[in-house]
Amino acid sequence: MAEALGADTKDMEHIKPSFELHVNGTSAQDIFLLYLLGGIIVNKRGQRFVNESISYKDIGMLCLDQPGAVGYQIIDQGVYDRAVQERRKSGLESPLGLDAAKSRLLVKGSTVEELAQKIGVPPQALRNTIDRYNLFVGSGKDLDFGRCTMAGNYGKPVMIDTPPFYSCETIAHLLATYGGIAVDEDMHVLTASGKIPGLYAAGELVGGFHGASYHSGTALGKALIFGRIAGRSAALGR
């Protein structure tokens, strides 16, 4: 609607999806980042395709090129227990945490092969993938994708070897954006040559904040801070 009035945009070329939404998810309560606690991600062939410690935005882009544009977060009981503790520790909804409602969205198998059959990936391929990954963890060197942490620069990878095993079929989705409407310091919406009188923008709608790299945890900040500035500017007629 803003563009229809002549609004300019910034950083639209940098918009990327996030890899975290359950394939049947409909809300923020259906997002999972269990791989950041030590899980791995495989495709429909049962094969890893990414370094799981990189940005969930970059993983989302890579997921789009996989069969069916889906990936499976694979964890064992050890990772599952850490996720439950994360939920208890924070007391808040978090993509890193598991409660009873979220746990029901996971597929469970007493063995790797049983889990593979339930989610429809080749059992031997998934077994080979996990065995190979565990060897990398044991040696301290991931020869396939270079994973050396759980997430970013935090934590050491852990073996996936404690039954039962769990899977979350995951897709990439647009939860937050890199780009959007161009604004000035008063949150006035800009055209290519000036301002649109009486029109302001705030929150995820705004472009020019992130550039090519997402600053995690800023969505609420952009809404609150930019919203306050926009409201004040509108009230003062700036």
Residue 62 has pLDDT above 90, yes or no: yes
| pLDDT score of 224 | 94
Residue 90 has pLDDT above 90, yes or no: no
Residue 217 has pLDDT above 80, yes or no: no
Kindly report the average pLDDT of the chain as a whole number: 94
Distances 46 to 10, 79, 114, 155, 168 between C-alpha atoms, Å: 38, 19, 13, 25, 13
Distances 139 to 30, 70, 75 between C-alpha atoms, Å: 35, 29, 20
* Other residues' Cβ atoms within 10 Å of the Cβ of residue 145: 16
170 beta partners: 22, 71
pLDDT digit string (tens) for 113-172? 999 999 999 999 999 999 999 999 999 999 999 999 999 999 999 999 999 999 999 999
pLDDT digit string (tens) for 126-138? 999 999 999 999 9
- Entry pTM: 0.86
| pLDDT score of 91 | 67
Please identify, in words, the CATH class of the domain defined by 18-173.
alpha beta
Residue with tokens 């882009």: 61
Domain map (residue ranges) of the chain: 3-13+176-236, 18-173
Question: Beta strands of 45-186 (E only): which ranges?
Answer: 70-76, 107-109, 165-173, 180-181
